[in-house]
């Protein structure tokens, strides 16, 4: 079967720069000028940065705005099954004809100059958004913040900084304050910023940057509070108290993400019913996603299969807490990771939760950690671990040995994307 035209263009765009990641805004500035500055013609922007929780927080903000009758553009990365997931125009995933056309236009305007894949596809998203009316634009940072390709707008309506932890040290720095400095680069003079719970050393950096440029902050623990009480979520700020259901996205970390989303929505004056919709109607694939249909489920009909794409130490801790909410059932873990990630830090919180661990290689992913190395790391951490050829093989083996097992497939968004594509 022939590739869709957008995939052909995307394949060509991969060759325009020898590095996948090269943090600078120079190439973005050049191409956006050639395209007549679409970034200056966007509906009010909510710009989100952070290490964990950006996507979930964005999904909740979008759900709340849409419940209020607002039309919303949304940009996120990476995609899981199809590139189109990255660009949502006025509430709908970008169509194949529109994506192919906008990518070709950006490719032509770029004229073969060096530019990274993320940069030119971000330009495509901004161009698509500039041509369709909407009430809001949600932009999720790809990496860092200060030099991220999304950080080309000077007048967002709001910025949001979710939890910051260790990730991508080769690009963002070896220490939390260094990483926080990069994330705080999305702050803008006079633009309010919602800040989720942070380690003290991270908050110190964010507050220092905000003071320097004159950005008002709405900080967890100072200006708003959120907590889980008796199976409900309680949010409070200077406007008052909200007693809400727990987020439909599972885990204590999602309560904090919901808090940041609610603080953002309150800033725009949304009502209680719309805010409740934000936490109960948001959907975000591969964040403790319960798989209920597809070939994997068919191959293990009595099992309970969960999919999560978290991939750093903080994500491992959040995943362990979320698993603990599901009740007693024997857990089996199937894990594949990239060789750029801290596998020891990721696995440490999960030790003791699983009866058996299966390490897999992420198929067709150049940066995958080989399955046998994942197994070695798991054994070192304290798991009983073996290698499996792939996820379907591991699921079938688990189903044969323990039909009613709880199966957790985890370790990488790239693995999650592969699972979603193959299980569709």
Q: How far is CA 382 from the centre of its chain?
A: 29
Q: Which residues contact 316 (CB under 8 A, 6 or more apart)?
A: 310, 345, 346, 347, 348, 349, 350
CA distance linking residue 27 with residue 119, whole number of Å = 8
Residue 112 pLDDT? 92
Establish how many alpha carbons lie within 13 A of residue 66's alpha carbon, considering only the half-sphere containing its beta carbon: 23
Calculate Rg over the CA atoms of the chain.
Answer: 21
Q: How far is CA 119 from the centre of its chain?
A: 17
**β-strands 87-89, 158-161 pairing:** unpaired
**β-strands 87-89, 92-93 pairing:** antiparallel
CA distance linking residue 279 with residue 276, whole number of Å = 6
Q: To 5 degrees, how large is the angle CA 206–CA 184–CA 212?
A: 60
CB atoms within 10 A of CB 113: 13
Residue 78 pLDDT? 87
For residue 310 the two structure tokens come to 């978290």
CA distance linking residue 210 with residue 184, whole number of Å = 8
DSSP 26: H
How does pLDDT run across 81-136, given as a tens digit for each residue? Answer: 899 999 999 999 999 999 999 999 999 999 999 999 999 999 999 999 999 999 99
The label of the residue with tokens 């041509």 reads 131
Tell which residue, 249, 179, 192, 236, has the closest CA to residue 44.
Answer: 192
Q: Which sequence spans correspond to the domains of the chain?
A: 5-280, 289-422
For the question of whether the overall pTM of this predicted structure is more than 0.85, the answer is yes
CA distance linking residue 22 with residue 185, whole number of Å = 16
Establish how many alpha carbons lie within 13 A of residue 188's alpha carbon, considering only the half-sphere containing its beta carbon: 19
Residue 105 pLDDT? 96
CA dihedral 330, 331, 334, 336 (to 10 degrees): -170
CA distances from 424 to 53, 88, 103, 294, 334 (A): 25, 20, 26, 6, 19
CA distance linking residue 115 with residue 119, whole number of Å = 6
Q: pLDDT by residue for the chain (424 residues), tens digit each?
A: 454 589 888 888 888 876 666 778 999 999 999 999 999 999 999 999 999 899 999 999 999 999 999 999 999 998 998 999 999 999 999 999 999 999 999 999 999 999 999 999 999 999 999 999 999 999 999 989 999 999 999 899 999 999 998 877 776 778 999 999 999 999 999 999 999 999 999 999 999 999 999 999 999 999 999 999 999 999 999 999 999 999 999 999 999 999 999 999 999 999 999 999 999 999 989 999 999 999 999 999 999 999 999 988 989 999 999 999 998 899 999 999 999 899 999 999 999 999 999 999 999 899 999 999 999 999 999 999 999 999 999 999 999 999 999 999 999 999 999 999 998 8
Write the CATH number of the domain with boundaries 289-422: 3.90.190.20
CA distance linking residue 275 with residue 400, whole number of Å = 44
Write the CATH number of the domain with boundaries 5-280: 3.40.1190.10
Axis crossing angle, helix 26-34 with helix 96-110, rounded to the nearest 10? 110
Residue 171 pLDDT? 65
């Amino acid at each position: 079967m022939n590739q869709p035209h957008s995939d052909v263009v995307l394949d060509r765009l991969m060759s325009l720069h020898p590095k996948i990641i090269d943090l600078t805004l120079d190439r973005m500035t050049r191409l956006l000028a050639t395209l007549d500055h679409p970034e200056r013609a966007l509906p009010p922007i909510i710009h989100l940065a952070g290490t964990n929780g950006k996507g979930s927080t964005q999904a909740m903000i979008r759900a709340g705005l849409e419940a209020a009758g607002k039309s919303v553009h949304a940009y996120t990365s990476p995609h899981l099954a199809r590139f189109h997931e990255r660009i949502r125009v006025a509430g709908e995933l970008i169509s194949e004809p529109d994506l192919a056309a906008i990518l070709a236009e950006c490719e032509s305007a770029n004229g073969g100059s060096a530019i990274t894949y993320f940069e030119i596809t971000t330009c495509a998203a901004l161009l698509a958004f500039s041509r369709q009316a909407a009430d809001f634009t949600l932009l999720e940072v790809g990496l860092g913040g200060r030099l991220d390709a999304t950080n080309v707008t000077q007048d967002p309506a709001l910025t949001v900084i979710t939890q910051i932890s260790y990730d991508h040290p080769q690009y963002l720095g070896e220490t939390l304050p260094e990483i926080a400095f990069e994330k705080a680069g999305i702050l803008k003079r006079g633009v309010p910023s919602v800040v989720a719970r942070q380690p003290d050393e991270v908050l110190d950096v964010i507050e220092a940057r905000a003071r320097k440029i004159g950005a008002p902050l709405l900080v967890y623990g100072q200006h708003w509070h959120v907590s889980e009480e008796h199976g409900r979520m309680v949010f409070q700020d200077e406007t008052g108290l909200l007693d809400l259901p727990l987020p439909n996205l599972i885990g204590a970390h999602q309560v904090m993400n919901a808090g940041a989303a609610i603080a953002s929505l309150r800033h725009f004056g949304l009502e209680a019913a719309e805010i409740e919709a934000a936490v109960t109607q948001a959907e975000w694939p591969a964040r403790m996603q319960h798989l209920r249909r597809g070939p994997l489920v068919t191959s293990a009909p009595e099992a309970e299969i969960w999919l999560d794409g978290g991939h750093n130490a903080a994500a491992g801790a959040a995943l362990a807490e979320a698993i603990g909410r599901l009740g007693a059932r024997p857990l089996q873990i199937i894990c594949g990771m990239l060789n750029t990630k801290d596998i020891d830090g990721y696995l440490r919180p999960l030790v003791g939760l699983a009866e058996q661990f299966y390490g897999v290689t992420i198929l067709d992913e150049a940066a995958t950690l080989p399955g046998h190395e994942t197994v070695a790391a798991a054994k070192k951490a304290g798991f009983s671990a073996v290698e499996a050829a792939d996820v379907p093989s591991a699921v079938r083996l688990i189903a044969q040995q323990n039909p009613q097992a709880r199966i957790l497939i985890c370790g990488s968004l790239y693995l999650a994307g592969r699972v979603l594509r193959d299980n569709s």
